[in-house]
Amino acid sequence: MATYVETVKPVVDKTILDLSRRKFRPDPIGGPRYSRMTSIISSAYKRHGQIIERALVERLKESNRFQVWNDKEFMISPAAHNLATNNPSACLKATLPYGEKYRSCQVDLIVYDFSDKSLRSYEVKRGNGDFDAGKQRSILNDLLAQHVLLKSYGEMRGLAVNSAEAKIIFYYGRRSIKAPFSLIGAELDAHFKFDVYGAVEVINDYFREKLYGLLEEK
């Protein structure tokens, strides 16, 4: 775990440095001190999701069972988009060929498990708040479209894929999408059969310590 921590700590350090340089407009009620704190905290919440994502990627890379990557331009075909939009229940058993592009989405985490030849994609959210109905539909549409394309996607990368599925991680437990498509932080160890949650919490503790130090600066 030491190597993992040293890999992710610089990501936290850069985030803190960026927050320290953030310009803010003092609020008439909050004044300079509390306006600064509010601005920093608000920005920290938004950037924290990326830290959790990077922590998950780097931690899982430490297991020789997994091949781990992300994809900023995962292609959604017209057929996958239409099936996810118009017949969601059919997506659970369907498999479609990957390669045609109607639109694209960013996949935060993709994990191939050599032990059982499974391939899974994950969107990573902090999961400490709720999404509105429109955002929930958009998230679910992306997950279902990925789900039907993922087996073919893996095979195009030269992987032998026995099973494939798309998931979303709501790390702090507020699920905007229900199981079986969603996971929370406390379920990650059992899901991956690997110590993930404790390792991510080491980074969260480091981020919290650095953030509190920044907030207390004059």
160 and 84 assigned to the same domain? yes
Kindly give the pairing relationship between strand 163-170 and strand 182-184. Answer: parallel
Name the domain count of the chain. Answer: 2
Looking at residue 131, its pLDDT comes to 87
56 and 162 assigned to the same domain? no
6 and 55 assigned to the same domain? yes
152 and 47 assigned to the same domain? no
85 and 183 assigned to the same domain? yes
| Average pLDDT, integer, range 67-78 | 96
pLDDT in tens, 163-175: 999 999 999 999 9
Whole-angstrom distance, CA of residue 22 vs CA of residue 24? 7
CA-wise closest residue to 39 among 13, 54, 21, 62: 21
Give me the torsion for CA of 40, 42, 48, 49, rounded to 10°. Answer: -160
11 and 98 assigned to the same domain? no
200 and 170 assigned to the same domain? no
96 and 145 assigned to the same domain? yes
Band the pLDDT of 125: cuts 50, 70, 90. very high
87 and 172 assigned to the same domain? yes
Range of the structural domain that residue 144 is part of: 64-193
26 and 87 assigned to the same domain? no
17 and 28 assigned to the same domain? yes
pLDDT in tens, 7-38: 999 999 999 999 999 888 888 998 988 999 99
Looking at residue 178, its pLDDT comes to 87
CA-wise closest residue to 165 among 106, 93, 108: 93
Looking at residue 217, its pLDDT comes to 85
Alpha helices (H) along 26-179:
31-60, 78-86, 133-156
CA-wise closest residue to 58 among 47, 69, 45, 74: 69
Band the pLDDT of 1: cuts 50, 70, 90. low
pLDDT of residue 60 exceeding 80, the answer is: yes
Looking at residue 218, its pLDDT comes to 65
**Count of other CB atoms within 10 angstroms of residue 128:** 13
Q: What is the pTM of this model?
A: 0.92
Band the pLDDT of 2: cuts 50, 70, 90. low
Residues 6+ apart with CB under 8 A from 124: 49, 52, 53, 56, 108, 109, 168, 169, 171
pLDDT of residue 204 exceeding 90, the answer is: yes
pLDDT of residue 5 exceeding 70, the answer is: yes
38 and 1 assigned to the same domain? yes
Whole-angstrom distance, CA of residue 7 vs CA of residue 40? 24
Band the pLDDT of 3: cuts 50, 70, 90. confident
**Percent of the chain's residues with pLDDT above 90:** 81
pLDDT in tens, 133-165: 888 899 999 999 999 999 999 999 999 999 999
Whole-angstrom distance, CA of residue 9 vs CA of residue 16? 11
